Chains A and B, each alone.
Chain A
Amino acid sequence: MKANAVYRKEVKASSRSIRFSMALMGFNGILAAAALINMYSLLYQVRTTAEIQYSGLLEMYRIVAAVEFALLLCVMPAIASGSISGEREHRTLDLLLTTQMSPRQIVWGKLMASLGDMFLILISSFPVMALVFVYGGVTVKDLFIVFLCLVTTALMITGIGLYCSAVFQRTVLSAAVSYAAVVLLVGGTVAANRFVLGLSTMRWNSYMNQIGSVASQATSGGFQYLLLFNPAVTFYSIIREQSGSRNALDGIAGWIGLHSEGWIADRWILVSLCVQLVSAVLLIRGTARWIDPASRKRRMPAKSFWRNRKKN
């Protein structure tokens, strides 16, 4: 089986550019700095108190994983948001669309190239992540679940980046909208829940005052399901669960008005990973549809070419 032509070209072209190498070095540099600073503070504590706090080592794992997650959120939109718009800027998209490659194959090639970069970033960070095995406390399964979460997050962010790059003509605009979408996804869903929770709490407080009770059952209602799209909540839940919490949502449920019980809440990590994967697939399909000239026409039902053809 031959590799996708667009993917092969992307790999060749990006291997000649210093940009990705610099991004990789920066990513691992920041990650290593976070791990080494944490390790240094642990050893400093040992020197001053003659005590080894193993919880501090777990803290290091959490910090390194969180830094990796945050960096991924920052890097992936930059990688993906120029995929299609870059072709447009180089005026090569039309040339590709006149070849025998289908729009889906073109997007698939772009996706594989972005994911290839992402895997390189994740795999290159393994040595830093492996520092947590020096003192134990974290299993390979734990790391695998975090890795799965990072891959899912990267897929969704890549999907957003690809879609934006198909919709917007310019890479700068596409990147700006991609980052805005990521901020909205991570911060916006939490803010929406906090806002709804605030309104709900106010309502409950006035009701409690009337009946003279103190127990509050304020939640953000249906808005909490928006958080299934939020990769940061999923990541936090995974880390929380790995830290020994009974329920993955315990730590944040009260803060953002989540029901920490129920079918979805009990399987929050699995459901949110699935929701994010499905979103990624839909975004990628949407990207292929967007660049397909035939689909673009079909999106205008009133003037549909096919309908007109039948009339003729």
Chain B
Amino acid sequence: MLKIKDLTKTFGRYHALSGLNMEVPEGSLYGFVGPNGAGKTTTIKILCGLLMPDSGSVEICGMDIAERPREIRGLIGYVPDYFGVYENLKVSEYMEFFASCYGLYGLKARRRCTALLEQTGLEEKTEFYVDGLSRGMKQRLCLARAMIHDPQILIMDEPTSGMDPRSRFDFKEIIRELNEQGKTILISSHLLQELSEICTDLGIIEQGRMALSGNMEEILNRVDTSRPLSITVNGRVEQALAILRSHPCVQTISVKDKEMMVGFMGDKQDEAQLLQQLVDAEVPVCGYSRVRGDLETLFMQITEKDEKEVLIHEG
């Protein structure tokens, strides 16, 4: 659906993107994360045709963005990290204005606007002035605006920043619903917990390059394998320790009363095998689980590693 190849962009001496490669599968909800200044917004602006890259290519639905920018603009809905509203327009007028920017007029435009305002829960605000809406409502209106021409891809740049938890929850639900309807969504955010809940795919950008990308489940599995195993036994601690020490996947062991934290570099099958060994040795295991990994930890690991690399290079 969306392919980025060797994308570079510099602003003076600052390299915003240095050979970014990225692929967003069709129908996916792609989380695009990275620290401040990593190049997320630059990438999004290039995708939307608001910036031209220095080199590299961007393909959306098989079309090159440099060759057919107008067609591609028709395939994309853009939700920036700001609202972009007009003071003197009502909600319905705002929507109809953007509908007319895509060549939708009259009854067709009104029907589309009504449907989208209903979907975003703003149907009762049609006669309100846009400027008078709350932050959450404005952002939902922006989402409705971005959907006005029924795009295939929605590109959102930190859409939930500054929202209260309720609005954020509602917004998340709308995004999930749109994804279920078949829209491909690329969402950039700092709220990693949120992304891990809704995204199907993830890309972590660092210093203008893709540090990690792939299916969310695979990435979370990868996070899990780097987390320790927590084993709680109700007696026979020495026997359990002996088994653990003899297992090839066990890296480290720390014991606190009956709870053992085991550095375990193995997959689910290895975990099952170790549990079987403990059970066979009649160790009374009453707790056996991986310490739950989260995206935040992985993100910190990746960005920390890159920071160290930079320091080494600079040194």
Q: Tell me the B37-55 residues at the A interface (CB within 8 Å).
A: 45, 48-55
Of chain B, the residue at the smallest CB distance from A298 is: B52
Q: Tell me the B90-110 residues at the A interface (CB within 8 Å).
A: 93, 97-98, 100-103, 105
Contacts of A94 in B (CB 8 A): 45, 48, 50, 78, 80, 84
Q: Return the 7 tightest CB-CB contacts between A and B, nearest first.
A: A297-B52, A5-B100, A99-B101, A13-B88, A308-B55, A92-B84, A16-B88
A98 interface neighbour in B76, B85, B100, Cβ under 8 Å: B76
Interface string of B46-83 (1 = CB under 8 A from A): 00111111111100000000100110011010101011
A306 contacts B73, C-beta separation under 8 Å: no
B97 contacts A5, C-beta separation under 8 Å: yes
Pairs across A and B, CB under 8 Å, 24 listed = A2-B105, A5-B101, A6-B101, A8-B97, A9-B86, A12-B93, A13-B87, A17-B88, A91-B82, A97-B49, A97-B50, A99-B73, A99-B102, A100-B101, A100-B102, A100-B149, A101-B101, A294-B52, A297-B52, A305-B53, A305-B66, A308-B55, A312-B6, A312-B57
Q: List 14 extra interface pairs beyond A100-B74, A294-B52, CB under 8 A.
A: A2-B103, A5-B100, A8-B97, A8-B100, A9-B93, A95-B84, A95-B98, A95-B145, A293-B52, A303-B10, A305-B52, A305-B54, A309-B55, A312-B55
Give the complex CA separation of A294 and B145 in angstroms: 24
Contacts of A303 in B (CB 8 A): 10, 54
A95 contacts B78, C-beta separation under 8 Å: yes
A293 contacts B50, C-beta separation under 8 Å: yes
A100 contacts B70, C-beta separation under 8 Å: yes
Give the complex CA separation of A312 and B57 in angstroms: 9
B285 within 8 A of A: no
Contacts of A293 in B (CB 8 A): 49-52
Give the complex CA separation of A294 and B87 in angstroms: 29
Give the complex CA separation of A294 and B55 in angstroms: 13
- How far, in Å, is B179 (CB) from chain A's closest CB? 21
Contacts of A13 in B (CB 8 A): 86-89
A98 contacts B50, C-beta separation under 8 Å: yes
A41 within 8 A of B: no
Give the complex CA separation of A83 and B88 in angstroms: 15
- How far, in Å, is B96 (CB) from chain A's closest CB? 9
Contacts of A14 in B (CB 8 A): 88
Q: Tell me the A1-49 residues at the B interface (CB within 8 Å).
A: 2, 5-6, 8-9, 12-14, 16-17
A203 within 8 A of B: no
Given A94-B50, A99-B73, CB of A305 within 8 Å of CB of B55 = yes
A96 within 8 A of B: yes
Give the complex CA separation of A14 and B88 in angstroms: 8
A306 contacts B66, C-beta separation under 8 Å: yes
Give the complex CA separation of A16 and B48 in angstroms: 32
B97 contacts A100, C-beta separation under 8 Å: no
Give the complex CA separation of A297 and B52 in angstroms: 6
Contacts of B53 in A (CB 8 A): 305
A296 within 8 A of B: yes
A90 within 8 A of B: yes
Give the complex CA separation of A272 and B90 in angstroms: 44
A12 contacts B88, C-beta separation under 8 Å: yes
A102 within 8 A of B: yes
Of chain B, the residue at the smallest CB distance from A6 is: B101
Contacts of A101 in B (CB 8 A): 101
Contacts of A308 in B (CB 8 A): 54-55
Of chain A, the residue at the smallest CB distance from B131 is: A90
A98 contacts B48, C-beta separation under 8 Å: yes
Contacts of A17 in B (CB 8 A): 88
Give the complex CA separation of A5 and B73 in angstroms: 17
A92 contacts B86, C-beta separation under 8 Å: yes
Q: Tell me the B130-145 residues at the A interface (CB within 8 Å).
A: 145
- How far, in Å, is B205 (CB) from chain A's closest CB? 21
- How far, in Å, is A296 (CB) from chain B's closest CB? 7
Contacts of A95 in B (CB 8 A): 78, 80, 84, 98, 145
Contacts of B105 in A (CB 8 A): 2
Interface string of A77-94 (1 = CB under 8 A from B): 000000000000011101
Give the complex CA separation of A9 and B101 in angstroms: 10
Give the complex CA separation of A118 and B88 in angstroms: 21
- Which of A5, A8, A90, A97 is most buried by chain B, counting CB atoms within 10 A of its CB? A5
- How far, in Å, is B17 (CB) from chain A's closest CB? 13
B50 contacts A91, C-beta separation under 8 Å: no
Give the complex CA separation of A17 and B189 in angstroms: 37
B56 interface neighbour in A96, A296, A312, Cβ under 8 Å: A312
Interface string of A260-304 (1 = CB under 8 A from B): 000000000000000000000000000000000110110000010
Of chain B, the residue at the smallest CB distance from A86 is: B86
- How far, in Å, is A303 (CB) from chain B's closest CB? 6
